[in-house]
Structure formats: C-alpha cells, structure tokens
Amino acid sequence: HAAIGYLPQTHAAPPDVGLSGRAFLAASVAGHRFGLPVVSAAARRDIDWALEAVDGVALAERPFSAMSGGQRQRLLIAEALIGRPRLLLLDEPLISLDQHQQHVIVTLVRRLSKEFGLTVLFSAHELNQLLGAIDQVLYLGGGAAVLGTVDEVVTPETLSRLYGTKIDVIRASGRIFVMSGGEHIEREHHHDHAHL
C-alpha cells in the first residue's frame, strides 16, 4: 500500500482527453504505455474502490474531455487514493474551481479524511475556502513558519512577527483578509499549508 497519495497542482502529463475515467486510473496504476493499459483484477478492484470513495462511479466511462473541472479534480483525488494511502498531499486542489466546486471538493476531502482515517495536507494560497474544515494551519512567510489553529496563527500579532512588518487581519462575513499597507497579501506573499 502507498503511504502517501499525491495530487499535484498541475498534472505532469495531461491525460489523453479521449481516455475514460477508468482508463485514466488504469494508466496511473499500470504506467503510461502505448495502447490501453492492462491491469490485474486486484488493481481493477482498487480502481473501483477509489471511484466509489470519491462518488465518481459515473465518471468511469466518461471521457476526460467531457468532464467539468470539479469532475476532473474528483478523478485526480481518486487517483491519489489508489493504494489506500494514510496521508494525502493536495497541492492547490481548488485553484481552478469556482466557489461551488471548491466547497464540493473540500467537503469530499473532509469526508474521506474522517471515513478512512486519512491525514490531509492542503497547500493553498487562499485560506478562506478551507475555513471550518481544517484543524491546523502552517503559515509560511518571510522565511519563517507558524503552526497552530487558524485562531492562533491568523492574527495581527502572529503574522506581524512572521513578516517583520505590520499586518492587519480583517474578519468579515465569515472570511479572513490578511492586509499589509492596505494591500491584500494572501495570494502573493505566502503559502498556507492547511491540515485536515
């Protein structure tokens, strides 16, 4: 069994858009070769399990090219689950999704974490989509890091120490805005690592 499942920010080799969801997952198990991948019965069972785990059974026969961004991300999460890892590393899994799909994927990953006892590490430039779903945040900035709950870390005092400059944290309508000199810095100057 794989100890770590990984979802890269951009897929290293964009899948053949004509591949079905099942063929895409089979290729990830068998390696990318010419022709359709041939996988063992055990691998087929693992693929079926991963598709069911992400509520992606309907994607099995759908061509990759016909999938929405959210469906593609669901399939890529299924790929990361093959081998039943204990840790999922998700690099910017929400970056190309609309707000509704971001919520769907966060809810899915949270369920997977609870259902299968997975530790999930999200890499994200924007914290707001993950609020309410994460246990801890590792905030990187100015060559240093701070780890703790959102309420412990995302404060003017903590972030001002981290950056070595005055940082304002504005909380409004259930969202958090990290500001420096009136500029919203969250997207440009740091990388959040959120632990589910």
Mean pLDDT of 2-23: 74
Tokens 């999704």 locate to 97
Q: Per-residue pLDDT tens for 151-187?
A: 999 999 999 999 889 999 999 998 999 998 777 676 5
- Calculate helix-pair angle for 41-53, 69-81, nearest 10 degrees: 130
Q: Is 129 within a domain? A: no
The verdict on 69 and 166 lying in the same domain is no
Residue where a domain terminates, one of 124, 146, 169: 124
Based on the domain organization, do 142 and 117 belong to the same domain? no
Residue 188 has pLDDT above 60, yes or no: no
Residues of the chain with pLDDT > 90, as a percent, come to: 52
Q: Is there a single domain that holds both residue 31 and residue 103?
A: yes
Q: Decide: 85 and 117 in contact? Cβ < 8 Å.
A: no
For residue 33, report the phi and psi dihedrals to the nearest 5 degrees. -130, 170
Three-state DSSP class for residue 176: strand
Q: Is the model's pLDDT at 119 over the cut of 50?
A: yes
Helices (H), the chain: 21-30, 41-53, 69-81, 99-116, 150-153, 156-163, 186-189
The 10s digit of each residue's pLDDT in 58-82 is 999 999 888 998 999 999 999 999 9
Looking at 124, 158, 179, which one is the last position of a domain? Answer: 124
56 Rama class: left (phi>0) / alpha (psi -120 to 50) / beta: alpha
Question: Looking at residues 41-54, what average pLDDT do you find?
Answer: 93
Q: Is residue 138 in some structural domain?
A: yes
Residue 34 lies in a domain: yes
192, 125 Cβ separation under 8 angstroms = yes
Its domain, for residue 152, covers: 134-191
- Does 110 share its domain with 45? yes
pLDDT at 6 over 90: no
Same domain, yes or no, for 104 and 20? Answer: yes
Q: Which amino acid is at 78?
A: A
Q: Is 65 helix (H, G, I), strand (E, B) or coil?
A: helix
128's tokens: 């707001």
Give the per-residue pLDDT at 77.
95
User: How would you classify the pairing of strands 191-195 and 136-141?
Assistant: antiparallel
How many domains, the chain?
2
Is pLDDT at 193 greater than 90 in this prediction? no
The CATH number of whichever domain residue 101 belongs to comes to 3.40.50.300
Measure the CA angle with vertex 98, ends 138 and 131; round to 5°: 30
Distance spanning both ends of the chain, measured CA to CA: 21
Instruction: For residue 196, tell me if it sits in a domain.
Output: no
| Residue 21 maps to a domain | yes
Is residue 149 classed as helix, strand or coil in its secondary structure? Answer: coil
Sheet holding 175-180, edge to edge: 168-172, 175-180, 183-184
pTM higher than the cut 0.95: no
Confidence bin at 37 (pLDDT 50/70/90): low
Verify that 88 and 108 share a domain, yes or no.
Answer: yes
Same structural domain for residues 105 and 155?
Answer: no
> Residue holding tokens 């809810």?
107
146, containing H or E segment: strand 144-148
- Residues 92 and 26 occupy one common structural domain: yes
Higher pLDDT, residue 171 or 125: 171
Q: Does residue 2 sit in the same domain as residue 48? A: yes
